[in-house]
Amino acid sequence: MTDFAATRRAFHLPKGVTYLDGNSLGPMPVAARDRVARMMGDEWSEMLITGWNKAGWYVQPRKVGDRIARLIGAGAGEVVMGDTLSIKVFQALSAALALRPGRRVILSDSGNFPSDLYVAEGLARAVGAELRVVAPEEVEAAIADDLAVLMLTEVDYRTGRRHDMAALTAKAHGAGALALWDLAHSAGAVDVDLTGADADFAVGCTYKYLNGGPGAPAFIWTHPRHADAAQPILQGWMGHDAPFAFDLGYRPAAGVERMRVGTPPVIALTALDAALDVWDGVSLSDLRARSIELSEAFIAGVEAQCPDVALNSPRDPGRRGSQVSFRHPQGYAVMQALIAAGVIGDFRAPDVLRFGFAPLYNDLGDVDRAVETLARILRDETWNDEKFHQKAAVT
């Protein structure tokens, strides 16, 4: 059994705070700060340029990728780190399109994170493809024989709705298309199984449930059947077969390493590597069971004590990720009042209160505090206070 009391102790959680926003930014694993300080003091400072070899900076994107592979049902050597999620979406989508010559349709849904749609829009404009966006529940029916790529985020960033990755991938394959999955709200949250689902490409970020820190690097996975054929539009020297030959012409590296672009972000990868230590010994089935236990307890508590809010997530935990959202007409102010009371979730327009349950550090005590605080705020209409209606630049 995974020891979740031990994994909770691995994080710095501020006193008096119940943190239910790890689906936006995970808290700091206590080891991360010292690890980064050591990297800066012992490696950068002392090794200087020789750190690329001596400290292993050069191979870090692949080594950290291997650690993530286990959490998403991928094999060693199949995942590489770098850049940001949007950039990895661009690479995977352009590579997938190129693998389906003669087809130009990209299908996505309105539950996808907007940045993925912006990336697809920019790419489609450039290469003459067409982006079709349907409602999440219409995706299955919209998979047609003209489809090149099905591009979905597995878990909806607002509702927590989880797509059936295996079924939709199979349907896409049946139509002759490829499937690209964004795991932003899945990796470290649910029991992802890319190999079992037979997906083609996957991408994700590491600052949510993987706790790599604000703006931590992204990952990209290519199924081995495509890894040596994939040719993304965005290609750079670190993805070259021989970067240090400094050839004038590009020749892609074998496998997923061709998805590397520029010089890797060593400091950020070091923080992430420390954050991944917490995952050693965590079983994905235990993770999934704990996630369901926490979210089910939260829904039951809120529905028993907070009559003014409406569940905005699927009721069936099998169809949810690790987050739960509720709607309230004064959602923004309610969330500000909650944050002021030490319960941190977040708000998504127009009226969504969003709560993430990170199995590594959230527990039933967090659930109880969140339910009680929300109930009190709604009962006392604390949110009516003018100060809770002022909008900040970033919410």
Q: Which of residues 235-264 bind its own copies (CB under 8 A)?
A: 235-238, 240, 244-250, 261-264
Q: Does 19 bind its own copies (CB under 8 A)?
A: yes
Which range in 114-122, 139-147, 168-176, 326-334 contacts its own copies by CB under 8 A?
A: 114-122
**Residue 7, annotated ligand binder?**
no
Cβ at position 295, least distance to its own copies in Å: 19
Q: Which of the residues 60 through 99 are near its own copies (CB under 8 A)? A: 82-87, 90, 94
Tokens (6 digits) for 180: 């690209």
Size of the site for its own copies (CB under 8 A): 91
| Burial letters 232-266, b for 16+ CB under 10 A, else e | beebbbbbbeebeeeeeeeebbebbbbbbbeebbb
Query: DSSP code of 108?
Result: E
Q: In this structure, what are the phi and psi dihedrals at residue 122, rounded to the nearest 5 degrees? A: -65, -45
Q: Does 205 bind its own copies (CB under 8 A)?
A: yes
Gyration radius of the chain's alpha carbons: 21
**Residue placing its CB nearer to its own copies in the complex, 197 or 344:** 344
Q: Does 395 bind its own copies (CB under 8 A)?
A: yes
Alpha carbon 114 to its chain's center: 14
Q: In this structure, what are the phi and psi dihedrals at residue 381, rounded to the nearest 5 degrees? A: 50, 40
Q: Does 44 bind its own copies (CB under 8 A)?
A: yes
Q: In this structure, what are the phi and psi dihedrals at residue 310, rounded to the nearest 5 degrees? A: -120, 135
Going 290 to 296 to 299 to 305, the CA torsion angle's sign is: negative
For residues 106 and 139, the answer to whether their CB atoms sit within 8 Å is no
**Residue 113, annotated ligand binder?**
yes
Q: Does 134 bind its own copies (CB under 8 A)?
A: no
**Residue 223, annotated ligand binder?**
no
Among 25, 306, 324, 343, binds its own copies (CB under 8 A): 25
Sole residue written with tokens 């369901």: 292
Choose among 39, 7, 1: nearest CA to 264. Answer: 39
**Residue placing its CB nearer to its own copies in the complex, 122 or 196:** 122
Q: Does 1 bind its own copies (CB under 8 A)?
A: no
Round to whole Å and give the CA distance between 123 and 117: 10
Round to whole Å and give the CA distance between 203 and 154: 11
For residues 283 and 95, the answer to whether their CB atoms sit within 8 Å is no
Q: Does 366 bind its own copies (CB under 8 A)?
A: no
Q: Does 9 bind its own copies (CB under 8 A)?
A: no
Binding characters for its own copies, 324-353, by CB under 8 A (x = yes)? ---------------x----x-x-xx----
Q: Does 21 bind its own copies (CB under 8 A)?
A: yes
Residues with catalytic roles = 113, 182, 207-208, 354
**Residue placing its CB nearer to its own copies in the complex, 39 or 284:** 39
**Residue placing its CB nearer to its own copies in the complex, 115 or 195:** 115
For residue 241, which amino acid is it? Answer: D
Binding site residues for pyridoxal 5'-phosphate, as ranges?
85-86, 113-116, 153, 182, 185, 207, 237, 263
Tell me the binding residues: 85-86, 113-116, 153, 182, 185, 207, 237, 263
